[in-house]
Structure 1
Amino acid sequence: MTAAKNRILELRAELDQHNYRYHVLDEPSIPDIEYDRLFHELKALEAANPELVTSDSPTQRVGSAALSAFTQVRHEVPMLSLGNAFEETDMREFDRRVTEGLDLPVGDLFGGGAAVEYSCEPKLDGLAVSLLYQDGVLVRGATRGDGTTGEDISVNVRTVRNIPLKLHGTGWPATLEVRGEVFMSKAGFERLNATQLEVGGKTFANPRNAAAGSLRQLDSKITANRPLEFCCYGIGQVSADIAETHIGNLQQLKAWGLPISHELKLANGIAECLAYYRDIGERRNALPYEIDGVVFKVNSIAAQRELGFRAREPRWAIAHKFPAMEELTELLDVEFQVGRTGAVTPVARLKPVKVAGVTVANATLHNMDEVARLGLMIGDTVIIRRAGDVIPQVVQVVLERRPDNARPVKIPEQCPVCGSHVERTQLVKRSKGRETISEGAVYRCVGRLACGAQLKQAIIHFVSRRAMDIEGLGDKSVEQLVDEGLVSSPADLYALKFEDIVDLEGFAEVSSNKLLSAIEGSKKPGLARFIYALGIPDVGEETAKVLARSLGSLERVQRALPQVLTYLPDVGLEVAHEIHSFFEDAHNQQVIADLLKHGLQIQDQGDLGAEFAASTTLGGFLDKLHIPSVGPGGAQKLAEKFGSLQGVMSADWLDMRQALPEKQANSVREFFASEENRQLAEAAEKQLADFGMHWQSEKKVVEGLPLAGQTWVLTGSLELMSRDVAKDKLESLGAKVAGSVSAKTHCVVAGPGAGSKLTKANELGLKVLDEEAFVGFLKDHGVPV
């Protein structure tokens, strides 16, 4: 008895602390699944020792006390939590209890039982709130708190845009308490964290923490700027009944202007509940918000009243939880991997643990800044998160479990692969003639292609499907070729002979000939594909397409100066310098020369893009020189006054003062007093003339592409072509192909299996084409299918 009592007291103290961190501080230190384990252990001990149950036990209440900074609110009808089901057997047991409680036939293995009607909806991962309406007007908002007493957050809930301040329509009860969840969408969460990083603020571990932290700000102006949403899931105190069913209540609330779940459904019997759970589980990662399970409620209000409540939960509802996406485990070590660009990246080696149904032993740490942000040490207990196909990541350290022998994480001074020096990158920010240098987040091995890891990753990227698309060269094959000394640059692939590869592991006569044939077949890549394959830092597929479409030839891409490259859409000065530096490098020049010597013939080359050629003016050019204190307006005044670059550079003081105020005039004269600046400006102007895009060059008539300015979205699986092919065809017509649907989307192409994107498109009233209509659309615009 003493051991049981001591353990019960330990568990209560630990759960109370976790409740405080979760509900009051919004800083949970353990994942939900660990809390559930501790809670169920306490529940089992109290069930075995009922004489030890007290009214202040966590099993007898919900959450923790309200924050003292907010006025306390007492809930007239307690806001109870739900019991949990983790297995199908738990759900069947719940259904059996409901059926017996309603005195209905239970049935047996062969059926024959009564089918209870249940409402089904996703369990949103946010903060439970109560909204009180008097005569249709919102008069109070409160958190759940400990279930009996919450916090008055009225000022903050009024800032949540989809909470009506006055109910729509008529017929609502004089007193109506609406209950629901305030949450943050995945996209809103990403935007918030990006903004927080920009301003040096605190980032959030997950959307739930972000929503809770945002809603409980003492300054409501902060809440108003956060992307919060509300979803109603029930009612509390009410002066008159609304409907005879739970779904009927929600549908009436929706008519009065309150948002309810789009996934709300009625299930007839436990089998349909389980089918709903499986379906929503398969679509979980495609939903625009985080969920951690499904809530099932007996639909009949009369049946709910008959079933009643336990101490802390209703007998007529249950939450069927999904496998945990967060888990606790131990950080055994941190190792460092070297990537294609030489980035030395820390990787967490973990004590294996099952997360979301998959055993996880490794997790990404991104960079050393992330290690510092987490305050991570080897030996720590950490929270691991895995969502869908996303690489598992460490999201938090449980500081109270840090062992005495924990060790700091240190970046190696030498590359773990080749032994070359590892140095921290520098960020160079260029603006208005000035360069600001700061330390970057990335450490790099300086060994370049002399480093086996960088060489392997560079080759793997070069042969990948979206690059040169050489089938038969998987990661292991590339590693063999490098390890055997057969390949030391991408160009060496085209010098491989049958006898070089036939004896390698995994190769034989047929596979060797197939590989050589695939290498030969890759010798006519499109320009965009070839640029992407080169692996230029910060140049992905889209930027490679812009370079190819605008500059029209490899020769122009290689020669282009940063000041010229910045005329390309979405290419800023930093990326322009990366591109220029890549092609200035002697080693890269040699690799390209060797590739061409081995017979590569770059396709799709031609004239400069007409729109690109027509994009230059003297005023715009002067602005792109980033002369301190001179913006677009001042640059245009210089162009109008002097008419040429030489005229600006040679202008005397009096003429300059006629064009600009004294400070700007001085700045221009000081800028061009530098011989380096003069040479850069003259070289850039000469290149504009050479390319045929000088403001005095003869311009071609620019014919706009039919879909220019339009954004399209592809969803579902297309049967007549791959989505990559469909994307290429849309881009050839000038469209931008995005990955998400918004009000700015022009059209959605929906193939079989289309999910949440199609749902959102229909909600927004967007144009939707099935594959057959899409193919017809392409043919009408002269695109071969």
Structure 2
Amino acid sequence: MNAAEKRILELRAELDLHNYRYYVLDEPSIPDAEYDRLFQELKALEAANPQLISHDSPTQRVGGAALSAFTQVRHEVPMLSLGNAFEETDMHEFDRRVTEGLDLPVGDLFGGGAEVEYSCEPKLDGLAVSLLYQDGLLVRGATRGDGTTGEDISVNVRTVRNIPLKLQGSGWPATLEVRGEVYMSKAGFERLNATQLEAGGKTFANPRNAAAGSLRQLDSKITASRPLEFCCYGIGQVSADIADTHIGNLLQLKTWGVPVSRELKLAKGIGECLDYYRDIGERRNALPYEIDGVVFKVNSIAAQRELGFRAREPRWAIAHKFPAMEELTELLDVEFQVGRTGAVTPVARLKPVKVAGVTVSNATLHNMDEVARLGLMIGDTVIIRRAGDVIPQVVQVVTERRPADARPVQIPESCPVCGSHVERTQLIKRSKGRETISEGAVYRCVGRLACGAQLKQAIIHFVSRRAMDIEGLGEKSVEQLVDEGLVSSPADLYGLTFEQIVDLEGFAELSSKNLLAAIADSKRQSLARFIYALGIPDVGEETAKVLARSLGSLERVQQALPQVLTYLPDVGLEVAHEIRSFFTDSHNQQVIKQLLAHGLEIQDQGELGAEFAASTTLGGLLDKLHIPSVGPGGAQKLADKFGSLQAVIEADWLDMRQALPEKQANAVREFFANEDNRQQALAAEQQLRDFGMHWQSEKKVVEGLPLAGQTWVLTGSLELMSRDIAKDKLESLGAKVAGSVSAKTYCVVAGPGAGSKLVKANELGLKVLDEQAFVAFLGGHGITV
């Protein structure tokens, strides 16, 4: 090792130490001038010896060549959002759920309950990011994105001064994912805006927007010039556990050079949490950065694992938001927007006003019932509320300031986009053979896909990642295709040609070919994704999966009657009628025919789900007819007495009274005296026969799905399939796929990079499969990869 190399290593180590003291410990040991001298010396030595420059050098934070776009990164452990608390009662409810979830004693008015330990830290108003360290070196940075997939911003995070490029000390896991918030201090934000003004550039509305915009620059040199900071709030995937508490994890990360909040504190019980919330709320304006609340987490890692997750948030953490910020302004006008389902929604156009650091000129009004509730008129002075990132709301009218020329808000008779008629929706409540009709709160354009707004939103949903997943079709591209008249239904996407696309704004030869390839690739899609892509009201991803898994084919989904659909888990009568209404609509039928004519090949079609096929009984069907006064018990008595639907329909008064009390017997006879009710009941029974699921149908010898009742967990990276596909395959076999490992877990599938979940599985002695064994397992159940 020559003298230059030795001095470079000494300077790097010394500068890393000073960075750690300055950014993490807040205990600088040398003045800024001395730090600058050491930095310049290192910079000069590396310039003279470029072969000695390394990626983890303190000088390598200036940014590199601009990127053309960010690549996507899949989070091995999803970056979930947090549930919110706005009142103290919400916090007490959260604590109750935690206590019950851990099976701890719950107190009463006289106390006596267990006190859970919580970590407390301010909720920074910035951008959530993930930092991946391999063997102590920073190898990747990513945004949170949608929680499952983010953007690779590795080049940019390397420019953030207090993010260590190399961890301090030793003992860190080989794989360590650090999660936290990139933010901009109040002082840094003011400096940035002053600089932007001097340069004639655009200023930012608040520190959060400034931080997010700075971190997502394609030119990392711009990111490097911005005063960004990082604060860690937790970990993601890790190859070995660090500590047995959340605070223990953070304090250990701090010793390795990762910045954590100086306001981090342990609270015993919910009372101390609320004390912390009130204290930091009083000091909020004096803090050097913006916060919008406090995050509380169960401190014990074992307890966190036991509590697990809901679909989108952990059960062991909550964000207690500060009260919303409010301001007065003037309502200049009310305009109407049209959504995917045709809902015509009023939007308030306001005299611009700053609320919580953000200039607000628009606010949601939800619907015309809300306008009426507020007593809102155009020209009114109104109170605007903005809570965190929630869309600003009009919460109150200051009626004493109403001007003489104030005008009422009126719903347009014609759609503002297509000119079609606007009608008020009707709410149909179905219960026990009766339909109660009332006016709904929503007004809807009847133009459907002839309305440009509805068409655009429908196609944006159709091509989205969780639906048909057509990469390259963003909102602006869809809007162009519709505006140019190239697409008038989702089916038209599959008839697009290169010549039609290449001349559109934002497209060139390569991007046009890539888009056509993505459209072609989407033709082979699972039944569940296709159902979800259709945009059926009230049918989300999980309901689409249930429909696909249970009914087994698009044809049966299209034919299914409401009484049959309600045999499905979590499908009530209202949703069943929405599904039936969608598929009986002639326009929707035509679009589906056109899609299939373009060569769409719906995958995973087959037989009825075994559990679904075996779920029908005569008593169950009679109950699903919702005969007034007849519940499940009465329905079963009818089934036991008469043995067939036809016999129930034809039963005379004396026979009916042998089965049911007088009131119920009368109700049954009145119900079937109605021809429509009779025909609907017989049609439902016939469909059960046609589907092969009638109680008298020959049943396959199947004891339900092979993995029914089992809970599986996926961890690490899978090479032969995505984790979404692996989850779908397990669910098709009846398994429940969970996000955390517990004693109730049946099996863990562990790919490369598996961390704490694999460790936990081994500790509990659970069954663990690697990817090769998992693929073989699927093959044994007739599922190919």
Letter in 1 for 2:701: V
Q: 1:636 to 1:482 in 2, by over 3 A?
A: same
Q: Distance in 1 between matches of 2:591 and 2:444?
A: 21
| Residue of structure 2 in register with 1:661 after alignment | 661
Q: 1:722 to 1:369 in 2, by over 3 A?
A: farther
Q: Distance in 2 between matches of 1:546 and 1:711?
A: 17
Letter in 2 for 1:558: Q
- 1:323 maps to 2:291: yes
- 1:702 maps to 2:670: no
| Residue of structure 1 in register with 2:567 after alignment | 567
- 1:488 maps to 2:488: yes
Q: 1:265 to 1:293 in 2, by over 3 A?
A: farther
- 1:277 maps to 2:261: yes
Q: Distance in 1 between matches of 2:416 and 2:523?
A: 35
Letter in 2 for 1:701: V
1:223-275, CA deviations, whole angstroms, 9 ceiling, x for partnerless residues?
xxxxxxxxxxxxxxxxxxxxxxxxxxxxxxxxxxxxxx96489979x999992
SS in 1 for 2:442: strand
| Residue of structure 1 in register with 2:503 after alignment | 503
1:366: how far off? 3.7
| Residue of structure 1 in register with 2:79 after alignment | none
Q: Distance in 2 between matches of 1:441 and 1:372?
A: 11
Q: Distance in 2 between matches of 1:416 and 1:743?
A: 57
Greater relative contact order (CA < 8 Å, ≥ 6 in sequence): 2
Contact 1:382/1:396, CA 8 A, preserved across alignment: yes
Q: 1:717 to 1:426 in 2, by over 3 A?
A: farther
1:434: how far off? 0.9
SS in 1 for 2:444: strand
1:162: how far off? 4.2
In the superposition, the TM-score normalised over structure 2's length comes to 0.57
Q: 1:640 to 1:586 in 2, by over 3 A?
A: same
1:572: how far off? 1.0
Q: Distance in 2 between matches of 1:524 and 1:266?
A: 46
**1:46-125 correspondence to structure 2 within 5 Å:** none
**1:18-29 correspondence to structure 2 within 5 Å:** none
| Residue of structure 2 in register with 1:380 after alignment | 382
| Residue of structure 1 in register with 2:123 after alignment | none
Letter in 1 for 2:535: G
| Residue of structure 1 in register with 2:55 after alignment | none
Q: 1:687 to 1:399 in 2, by over 3 A?
A: closer
CA RMSD after TM alignment: 5.1
| Residue of structure 2 in register with 1:15 after alignment | none
- 1:404 maps to 2:402: yes
Q: Distance in 2 between matches of 1:124 and 1:467?
A: 32
* Percent identity of equivalent pairs: 70
1:596: how far off? 2.1
Contact 1:456/1:479, CA 8 A, preserved across alignment: yes
Q: Distance in 2 between matches of 1:583 and 1:337?
A: 26
SS in 2 for 1:616: coil
- Number of positions where the alignment pairs a residue of Structure 1 with one of Structure 2: 531
**1:681-760 correspondence to structure 2 within 5 Å:** 681-710=681-710, 722-737=722-737
Q: Distance in 2 between matches of 1:366 and 1:717?
A: 42
Contact 2:430/2:436, CA 8 A, preserved across alignment: yes
**1:223-262 correspondence to structure 2 within 5 Å:** none
Q: Distance in 2 between matches of 1:401 and 1:263?
A: 50
Q: Distance in 2 between matches of 1:749 and 1:546?
A: 23
SS in 1 for 2:602: coil
Q: Distance in 1 between matches of 2:551 and 2:119?
A: 55
1:367: how far off? 3.4
Q: 1:667 to 1:452 in 2, by over 3 A?
A: same
Letter in 1 for 2:648: V
1:485: how far off? 1.6
Q: Distance in 2 between matches of 1:398 and 1:272?
A: 51
1:671: how far off? 1.0
SS in 1 for 2:576: helix
Contact 1:619/1:636, CA 8 A, preserved across alignment: yes
1:394: how far off? 3.4
Contact 1:420/1:446, CA 8 A, preserved across alignment: yes
**1:574-589 correspondence to structure 2 within 5 Å:** 574-589=574-589
Decide which of 390, 393, 399 is 2:391's aligned counterpart: 393
Q: Distance in 2 between matches of 1:514 and 1:267?
A: 47
1:641: how far off? 1.3
Q: Distance in 1 between matches of 2:289 and 2:361?
A: 23
Q: 1:564 to 1:394 in 2, by over 3 A?
A: same
SS in 2 for 1:423: strand
**1:55-204 correspondence to structure 2 within 5 Å:** 158=110, 161-162=113-114
Contact 2:364/2:393, CA 8 A, preserved across alignment: no
1:453: how far off? 0.4
SS in 1 for 2:600: coil
Q: Distance in 1 between matches of 2:504 and 2:112?
A: 63
1:416-474, CA deviations, whole angstroms, 9 ceiling, x for partnerless residues?
21122222222211111111222333221111111110111112222222222222222
Contact 1:383/1:398, CA 8 A, preserved across alignment: no
**1:368-517 correspondence to structure 2 within 5 Å:** 368-371=368-371, 379-387=381-389, 392-394=390-392, 397=395, 403-405=401-403, 409-517=409-517
1:106: how far off? 9.7
Q: 1:179 to 1:645 in 2, by over 3 A?
A: closer
1:498-551, CA deviations, whole angstroms, 9 ceiling, x for partnerless residues?
332332222233333333333233223222222222111111122122212222
SS in 2 for 1:525: strand
Q: Distance in 2 between matches of 1:470 and 1:492?
A: 14
Q: Distance in 2 between matches of 1:342 and 1:272?
A: 54
Contact 1:125/1:292, CA 8 A, preserved across alignment: no
Higher deviation after alignment, 530-539 or 368-377: 368-377
**1:622-637 correspondence to structure 2 within 5 Å:** 622-637=622-637
Q: Distance in 1 between matches of 2:275 and 2:337?
A: 33
Q: Distance in 2 between matches of 1:416 and 1:769?
A: 59
Q: Which runs of 5+ in 1 are unaligned?
A: 1-91, 100-104, 112-122, 129-154, 165-177, 182-260, 282-288, 298-311
Q: Distance in 1 between matches of 2:514 and 2:29?
A: 64
Which of the pair has more CA radius of gyration? 1
Q: Distance in 1 between matches of 2:730 and 2:515?
A: 32
| Residue of structure 2 in register with 1:606 after alignment | 606
Q: 1:674 to 1:489 in 2, by over 3 A?
A: same
1:720: how far off? 7.6
Q: Which runs of 5+ in 2 are unaligned?
A: 1-21, 36-83, 90-106, 121-244, 266-271, 294-323
| Residue of structure 2 in register with 1:301 after alignment | none
| Residue of structure 1 in register with 2:343 after alignment | 343
Q: Distance in 2 between matches of 1:591 and 1:570?
A: 27
Letter in 2 for 1:323: I
SS in 2 for 1:477: helix
Contact 1:501/1:512, CA 8 A, preserved across alignment: yes
1:574: how far off? 0.8
1:648: how far off? 0.9
In the superposition, the TM-score normalised over structure 1's length comes to 0.57
Q: Distance in 1 between matches of 2:775 and 2:360?
A: 45
Letter in 1 for 2:386: I
Contact 2:716/2:750, CA 8 A, preserved across alignment: yes
SS in 1 for 2:385: strand
| Residue of structure 2 in register with 1:536 after alignment | 536
Q: Distance in 2 between matches of 1:742 and 1:319?
A: 40
Q: 1:414 to 1:156 in 2, by over 3 A?
A: farther
1:552-575, CA deviations, whole angstroms, 9 ceiling, x for partnerless residues?
222211111111111111111111
SS in 2 for 1:493: helix
Higher deviation after alignment, 513-522 or 403-412: 403-412
1:632: how far off? 1.2
Q: 1:106 to 1:528 in 2, by over 3 A?
A: closer
SS in 2 for 1:482: helix
Q: 1:436 to 1:506 in 2, by over 3 A?
A: same
Q: Distance in 2 between matches of 1:448 and 1:294?
A: 49
1:401: how far off? 10
